[in-house]
Amino acid sequence: MVKAYEDQQFADLRKQCQQSGKLFEDPLFPPTDQSLFYHENRIGKVTWKRPKELCDDPHLFVHGISAHDLHQGQLGNCWFVAACSSLASREPLWQKVIPDWKDQEWDEKRPEAYAGIFHFRFWRFGSWMDVVIDDRLPTANGNLVYCHSNDKNEFWSALLEKAYAKMYGCYEALDGGNTADALVDFTGGVSEPVELLEGHFGQDEEARNQLFERVLKVQQRGGLISCSIRATSQADMEARLDCGLVKGHAYAVTDVRKVRLGHGLLAFFKAEKLSMIRLRNPWGEREWNGPWSDSSEQWQKVSKSEREKLGVVVQDDGEFWMDFEDFTKYYTDLILCRLINTSYLSVHKTWEEVVHFGSWVHEDDPLKNRAGGCVNHKATYLQNPQYVFDVKKPEDEVLICLQQRDRRARPKEGKGENLAIGFDIQRVELNRKYRMHISQQKICSSVYINSRSVFMRNDLKEGRYVIIPTTFNPRLQGDFLLRVFTDVPSECKELTVDQPPQTCWTGLCGYPTLVTQVHVMKGAGLQAQDSDGSSDPYVVISCEGEKVCSPVHKDTLTPDFDVKALFYRKKSKGSILIRVYNKNVLNDSFMGQVTLSADVQDAQHQTVRLRDKSQSSDLPGMLSVSVLTSNVLTGI
């Protein structure tokens, strides 16, 4: 679904202009300094001109669209221009960002169709936004001030930049930003940051090869990639290294390849391949001058046909190739923007996506407060929103992206700084359906940072988990978008209720007054059930008519069950039954049981012996069990 930004409908506005014979003038983004700067003019006299005032034959595209079209102007938005360079190499993506581009193009045969109005689309906070602009562009001395093309009569990049600036409030709002945000805005994907220094990819060959395969996969599946060399001080910003690379500057990755070395049949049969990556400087100049640079002698190791496939051009156009090992030694930060495939008809991996919109809202009532801050604030941490999801495979790769509503887009209202956000993942009971009031086993955490989005990729074992998205400090309010991707449906949903609700039957049937957590940790000495002397055990925990079944553990007599169950109990002296079974094709076999009576239910880390169903005789095997009981709300 596409939403009209500020309710400006492109088709209606263009039709009105065509009927009236007047070119569109956007009242929401006028040709004034207010659209250029926060407070005051910093570049001198600016004249706003339409493309036809700058050249005789304007076009959106001249000889198609290319990463070489873009040149950064008098604005520190290399992050945006680098993202545009990546976008230009992906036709399905730029056609979504520049919709109906053929219809929007200047047409000499239909001059009456031109109305001085254009529109572009960006993915913002879960929806595609259609942004309308007029084509009055800021110029100085007859030249475009900001982003421009090699060709004087090509305007797609300048118009796209204006639409993006409108969405952010003014051009100056684009001065300094995050390439990851722009990549997401162009695709609706999720951006994963990779810190190359911390990962030691320059020294660890195995880790580097694994990273290259990840980068190659993102590239082959249509994703966008950017990178940079971190500047450690203001003086380092845009400082040029001896190798030609620039610090504190965003580069676009325009290709990733495994290049065959050698000539003729030798190149075809030789096993040696070089991992290569192609980058582009948004300035359109200043390239890498090390091995495999444009005029490097290393290219003699590659056949002419292979060089032609790679598009190796000896000119200072800002684009160059590097060996991936050199890349990981010089660059410090890499951004992989994945296009998350949710189509069941695709030959590539398909993800199951769940999307939730939420808010951090401060309330004085602890049960209503949803702005508790990070885990450092123990008294309020679990008052944050909570989302439960299931991992249904023995192990599954899970992608989680937390995005806040961008405050940079409205800096003039005093909301220019994003909140520091992050999230934790805790493993909980298999039957958890009410909010947590005591922290459980923390599996992993994201970083906490004041960026628009935070991403984490992790392999999780089968079980139930709770995501707790938070601001770093408590009492801060804001909206967020949570996206969870798994291989199989995760049934992700928000936990909104604190305890079992009162119903009309509560008076007759009773209301739970106790909550009990049963944690079966390990089994030992179980009796062999299979012909090969092994077994496939699982545990069933029962209490007051409710049952919780653990996953099956294959081929083991010492299973690490690590399974939790949660029971809201009406009878304080009722028993809890734990049974162990062996999974069989036709009929599961009983391996023993344990009955926990009232006198052991508050004991921690008990080791209990398995017995037969009559409880009259012991069976081989022991279980390590923990039980925690408390009242309903102040407890688990």
Active site residues: 78, 249, 281
| Alpha carbon distance 260, 632 (integer Å) | 66
**Interatomic CA distance for residues 596 and 574, integer angstroms:** 9
Helix, strand, coil tally for the chain in percent (to 5): 20, 35, 45
Q: How far apart are CA 278 and CA 524, in angstroms?
A: 55
Distances (CA, A) of 423 to 337, 418, 465, 472: 20, 16, 13, 9
Cα of first residue to Cα of last residue in the chain, in angstroms, is 41
Q: Which of 128, 131, 107, 129 is nearest to 117 (CA)?
A: 131
Burial class (CB in 10 A: 0-12, 13-18, 19+), 533: exposed
Among 339, 334, 366, 340, CA closest to 353 = 340
Q: Which of 395, 401, 388 is nearest to 456 (CA)?
A: 401
Q: How far apart, in Å, are the Cα atoms of 268 and each of 259, 262, 265, 272, 302?
A: 11, 8, 5, 10, 11
Nearest-CA neighbor of 523 among 566, 581, 441? Answer: 581
Rounded distance between C-alpha atoms, residue 62 and residue 51, angstroms:
14
User: What kind and span of H or E run contains 512?
Assistant: none
Q: Which two tokens stand for residue 95?
A: 């056609």
566 by DSSP, 3-state: which?
strand
* Angle at alpha carbon of residue 581, lines to 575 and 584, rounded to 5°: 155
Q: What angle do CA 242, 243, 249 make, to 5 degrees?
A: 95
